[in-house]
């Protein structure tokens, strides 16, 4: 189970991406492979489902949203958490 605070952090980071015209189904949440959230496949946000992808190069305590594929000139990236 994911905490409401974590969902809120994700939605705050996701808001400008969605408002710039990006589709939520093209956005991945990159997380540390050893984090608790990495055990989930996706997370329900107020914008729709976001796929969770454990990234080998993402250290614990960091997570970000990225559009796949990243479009030119768009706002397809946002930090959710970083130390």
Digit-coded pLDDT (tens) for 42-80? 999 999 999 999 999 999 999 999 998 776 667 789 999
Q: Where are the alpha helices (DSSP H) in 20-57?
A: none
Segment 32-44 mean pLDDT: 94
Domain encompassing residue 22: 4-81
- Does residue 35 surpass a pLDDT of 80? yes
How many domains, in total, are found in the chain? Answer: 1
**What pLDDT score was predicted for residue 50?**
97
Percent of the chain residues past pLDDT 70, beyond the cut: 95
Q: What pLDDT does residue 73 have?
A: 64
- Where is average pLDDT lowest: 5-9, 21-25, 60-64, 74-78? 74-78
Q: What share of the chain is helix, strand, coil (3-state, %, to 5)?
A: 30, 30, 40
């Amino acid at each position: 189970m994911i905490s409401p605070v974590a969902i809120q952090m994700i939605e705050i980071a996701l808001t400008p991406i969605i408002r710039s015209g990006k589709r939520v189904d093209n956005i991945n949440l990159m997380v540390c492979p050893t984090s608790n959230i990495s055990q989930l496949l996706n997370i329900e946000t107020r914008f729709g489902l976001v796929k969770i992808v454990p990234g080998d190069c993402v250290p614990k305590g960091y997570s970000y949203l990225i559009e796949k594929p990243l479009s030119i000139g768009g706002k397809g990236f946002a930090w959710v958490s970083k130390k």
